[in-house]
């Protein structure tokens, strides 16, 4: 094998190693949202469009001798509509969680990003990193965590409820105060 072939072979091995490391990083990042990558994130690639053919019949020509007179409008007498009062909906019962539900979800799902600061996530217990987030009210933090915001993927997906996400947020906020 020549020296040039040996160099090319080393570059190919290096590219393969870089590709596998990149793939590993992508898989680790997808774990931040529980690995729930839905098709809604993929852009549509179909360029075909459907058209509908509609047959239009030509109108009959209007002659000069034909006169169209509009019919007079008939006023309807107002009728009374009975008012039905809706029964108030029963308030949904809050989900009862275990005392350590927040810690459990943090260990299972949140730790992937918040332990290492992936996707600019504030590190667990780092008061300085959490300060801008704590400046917002807790309801905003709950909503952003459950539904997603900026780089923070939605966490209330699959079998994870919003109440569990709120408990995990409360757990992380308590550690940062």
Run of H or E residues at 18: helix 3-30
Which two three-digit tokens encode residue 48?
A: 């075909």
Cβ partners under 8 Å of residue 120, min gap 6:
151
Q: What is the pTM of this model?
A: 0.49
pLDDT, tens digit (0-9, with 9 covering 90-100), for 79-123 = 666 666 656 555 566 777 888 999 999 999 999 999 999 999 999
Instruction: Give the Cα separation of 155 and 127 in Å (integer).
Output: 22
CA dihedral 111, 117, 118, 124 (to 10 degrees): 20
């Amino acid at each position: 094998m020549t020296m040039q072939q040996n160099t090319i072979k080393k570059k190919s091995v290096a590219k393969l190693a870089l590709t596998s490391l990149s793939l590993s990083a992508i898989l680790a990042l997808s774990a931040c949202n529980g690995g729930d990558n839905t098709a809604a994130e993929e852009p549509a690639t179909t360029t075909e469009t459907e058209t509908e053919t509609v047959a239009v019949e030509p109108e009959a020509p209007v002659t000069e001798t034909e006169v169209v007179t509009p019919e007079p409008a008939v006023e309807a007498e107002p009728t009374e509509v009975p008012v039905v009062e809706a029964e108030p909906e029963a308030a949904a019962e809050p989900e009862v969680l275990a005392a350590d539900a927040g810690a459990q979800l943090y260990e299972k799902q949140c730790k992937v990003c918040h332990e290492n600061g992936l996707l600019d996530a504030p590190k667990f217990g780092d008061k300085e990193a959490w300060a801008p987030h704590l400046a917002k009210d807790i309801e905003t933090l709950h909503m952003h965590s459950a539904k997603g915001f900026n780089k923070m993927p939605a966490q209330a997906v699959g079998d994870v409820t919003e109440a569990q996400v709120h408990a995990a947020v409360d757990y992380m906020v308590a550690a940062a105060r």
